[in-house]
């Protein structure tokens, strides 16, 4: 068994910005259309008026057929962008359902066409599945990074995947100060699950007043449980520290796979407050090769963005590589 740990602890990331994060942030051009929008207001401060006003909706014109690339083993999105001579951010923008951190072999990626069609024309138009989207707040860290958290809840009767959102920071006049595209930390969200999405900005912009989130993608997928190895939680141990603003979580997972399979195991730990709302998150990952009835141990530290931690939820996921 070969394992690798990937920590995404909000406070650790805030104090050590050079650390890795499974919620990868990407600077993105402003989307040309709003799909579903939610806003959260905070006390206002001095506005900055020299920035770009929120754009007007642009009617979609004829859609050119973009080139489609099929992902091969070992490829990364950055390598694909370089190969076709296009900007990485443009590929991310027109493929919001694709998590740059988790490419799947055989998956199709839209590439801006050779004729140089503008990215706004290639933006996907299907309406996302209407998952419930909630703004949870923004917090400034001691390192001056600015963290904004939203949550999505799958209220449908089927599994939802490819969830991504666009978070923008505004001043009191509605001018956009900064923006990021964020992705759900697990690829498939089951009925009733609530999962946080976190955007980490370098700092709180001068003149910040509120943040706004647009749902970019959420698609219905078939239940793949019969096609994937079985994963069960055998044990979960939680130790609270720092006046219950830190939870040390460890546990064991049982995995039954097929001979020769190689797969990625991801464990998402979510800290909840007394109201049951997410206030922190961390992610652990491990790779397993040719395992049958394998047991995996994991350990993660989850920091709260502010309130005391009242409960912890663990979401394990397994993906074939």
Give the mean pLDDT of 79-100: 75
Q: How confident is the model at residue 267 (pLDDT cuts 50, 70, 90)?
A: very high
CA 225 to CA 200: how far, in whole Å? 32
Instruction: Categorize the per-residue pLDDT at 116 as very low, low, confident or very high, splitting at 50, 70 and 90.
Output: very low
In this structure, what are the phi and psi dihedrals at residue 63, rounded to the nearest 5 degrees?
-95, 115
What mean pLDDT comes out for the span 180-205?
A: 91
CA distance 113 to 85: 11
Q: What does the pLDDT average to over 171-189?
A: 90
pLDDT mean over 35-58: 37
User: Taking 80 as the threshold, does the pLDDT of residue 157 lie above it?
Assistant: yes
The model's confidence at residue 130, banded by pLDDT at 50, 70 and 90, is: confident
Mean pLDDT over residues 237-258, rounded? Answer: 90
For residue 303, give both structure tokens. 């920091």
pLDDT grade, residue 150 (50/70/90)?
very high
Tell me the per-residue pLDDT of 277-305, one tens digit each, with 9 for 90 and over: 899 999 999 887 755 667 889 999 999 98
Q: What is the mean pLDDT of residues 146-161?
A: 91
Query: What is the pLDDT at residue 24?
Result: 40
Pick left, alpha or beta for residue 242 (phi over 0 → left; psi -120 to 50 → alpha; otherwise beta).
Answer: left
Higher pLDDT, 189 or 224: 189
User: pLDDT band at 23, cuts 50/70/90?
Assistant: very low
Average pLDDT over residues 254-267: 76
For each of the domains in the chain, give its residue range(s) and CATH number, in order of start: 230-320 (2.60.40.10)
Q: Is the pLDDT of residue 52 over 50?
A: no
Mean pLDDT of the region 170-199: 91
Q: Looking at the predicted structure, is the pLDDT value of residue 120 above 70?
A: no
pLDDT bucket at 31, cuts 50 / 70 / 90: very low
Helix H, strand E, coil C: the string for the chain is CECCCCCCCHHHHHHCCCCCCCCCCECCCCCCCCCCEEEEECCCCCCCCCCCCCCCCCCCCCCCCCEEEECCCCCCHHHHHHHHCCCHHHHHHHCCCCCCCCCCCCCEEEECCCCCCCHHHHCCCCCCCCCEEEEEEEEECCCCCEEEEEEEECCCCCCEEEEEEEEEEECCCCCEEEEEEEECCCCEECCCCEEEEEEEECCCCCCCCEEEEEEEEEEECCCCCCCCCEEEEEEEEEEEECCCCEEEEEEEEEEECCCCCEEEEEEEEEEECCCCCEEEEEEEEEEEECCCCEEEEEEEEEECCCCCCCEEEEEEEEEEC
Determine contact, residues 12/280, Cβ cutoff 8 Å: no
| Rg of the chain in Å (alpha carbons) | 20
Which tens digits make up the pLDDT trace of 199-232?
999 999 999 999 999 888 888 876 555 566 778 8
Percent of the chain with pLDDT over 90: 29
Higher pLDDT, 164 or 127: 164
pLDDT for position 307: 87
Residue 72 CB coordination number (10 Å)? 10
Give me the chain's average pLDDT, please: 74
Structure confidence at residue 48 (pLDDT): 35
Tokens of 117: 């069609």
Task: Mean pLDDT check: name the lowest of 22-26, 84-88, 155-159.
Answer: 22-26
Give how far the C-alpha of residue 287 lies from the chain's centroid of Cα atoms, to the nearest Å.
Answer: 20
């Amino acid at each position: 068994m070969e394992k690798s740990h990937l920590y995404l602890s909000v406070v650790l990331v805030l104090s050590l910005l050079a650390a890795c994060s499974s919620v990868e942030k990407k600077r993105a051009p402003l989307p040309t259309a709003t799909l579903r929008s939610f806003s959260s207001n905070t006390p206002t401060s001095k506005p900055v008026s020299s920035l770009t006003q929120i754009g007007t909706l642009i009617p979609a014109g004829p859609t050119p057929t973009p080139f489609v690339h099929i992902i091969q083993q070992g490829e990364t999105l950055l390598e694909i962008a370089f190969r076709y001579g296009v900007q990485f951010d443009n590929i991310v923008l027109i493929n919001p359902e694709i998590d740059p951190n988790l490419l799947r072999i055989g998956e199709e990626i839209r590439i801006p066409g050779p004729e140089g069609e503008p990215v706004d024309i290639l933006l996907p138009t299907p309406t996302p599945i209407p998952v419930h989207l909630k703004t949870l707040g923004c917090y400034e860290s001691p390192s001056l990074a600015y963290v904004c958290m939203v949550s999505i809840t799958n209220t449908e009767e089927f599994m939802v995947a490819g969830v991504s959102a666009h978070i923008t920071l505004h001043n009191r006049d509605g001018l956009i100060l900064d923006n990021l595209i964020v992705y759900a930390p697990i690829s498939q969200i089951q009925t009733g699950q609530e999962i946080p999405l976190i955007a980490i900005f370098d700092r709180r912009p001068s003149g910040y007043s509120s943040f706004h989130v647009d749902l970019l993608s959420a698609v219905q997928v078939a239940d793949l449980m019969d096609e994937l190895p079985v994963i069960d939680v055998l044990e979960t141990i939680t130790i609270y520290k720092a006046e219950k603003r830190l939870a040390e979580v460890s546990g064991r997972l049982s995995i039954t796979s097929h001979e020769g399979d190689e797969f990625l195991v991801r464990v998402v730990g979510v800290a909840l407050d007394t109201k049951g709302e997410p206030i922190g998150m961390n992610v652990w990952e491990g790779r397993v090769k040719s395992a049958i009835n394998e047991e995996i141990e994991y350990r993660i530290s989850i920091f709260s963005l502010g309130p005391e931690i009242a409960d912890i939820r663990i979401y394990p996921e397994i993906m074939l590589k």
